[in-house]
Amino acid sequence: MVGVVAMAEELVHKVMGQWDSSHDPFHAFRVRDLALSLAKEEALPPNSLQIVELACLLHDIGKCKQGTESVADFLREQGVEAKSVEVILSIISSMGFKEELGGSLNHGQCSLEFAIVQDADRLDAIGAIGIARAFTYGGNRNHMIHDPDQAPRTNLTKMEYMHSDAKLTTLNHFHEKLLKLKGLMKTKAGKQRAEGRHKFMETYLQQFQGEWEGRL
Mean pLDDT of 85-107: 81
Residue 42 sits in a domain whose CATH number is: 1.10.3210.50
Does position 68 have pLDDT exceeding 80, yes or no?
Answer: no
The one-letter code for the residue type at 192 is: Q
Q: How much is the pTM?
A: 0.93
The one-letter code for the residue type at 35 is: A
Please tell me which residue, 133 or 93, carries the higher pLDDT value.
133
**In this predicted structure, what is the pLDDT of residue 90?**
92
| Nearest Cα to Cα of residue 173 among 196, 199, 141 | 141
Q: How many Cβ atoms from other residues are within 10 Å of residue 113's Cβ? A: 22
pLDDT digits (tens, 9 = 90+) for 146-178: 999 999 987 877 777 776 667 889 999 999 999
3-state DSSP assignment of residue 169: strand
For residues 143 and 170, the answer to whether their CB atoms sit within 8 Å is: yes
Does position 44 have pLDDT exceeding 50, yes or no?
Answer: yes
Query: CA dist 56 to 8, 44, 64, 80, 82, Å?
Result: 10, 15, 14, 15, 18
Could you please report the per-residue DSSP string of 21-77?
TTSSHHHHHHHHHHHHHHHHHTT--GGGHHHHHHHHHHHHHHHSTTHHHHHHHHHHH
**In this predicted structure, what is the pLDDT of residue 108?**
43
Q: Which domain holds residue 114?
A: 4-212
Helix axes 112-123, 25-41, angle to 10 degrees: 130
**In this predicted structure, what is the pLDDT of residue 50?**
97
Into how many domains does the chain fold?
Answer: 1
Quick one: how far is CA 166 from the chain centroid? 23
- Could you tell me what percent of the chain has a pLDDT over 90? 80
**In this predicted structure, what is the pLDDT of residue 126?**
98
Average pLDDT, the chain: 91
For residues 98 and 161, the answer to whether their CB atoms sit within 8 Å is: yes
Quick one: how far is CA 81 from the chain centroid? 26
pLDDT digits (tens, 9 = 90+) for 52-61: 999 999 999 9
Does position 107 have pLDDT exceeding 70, yes or no?
Answer: no
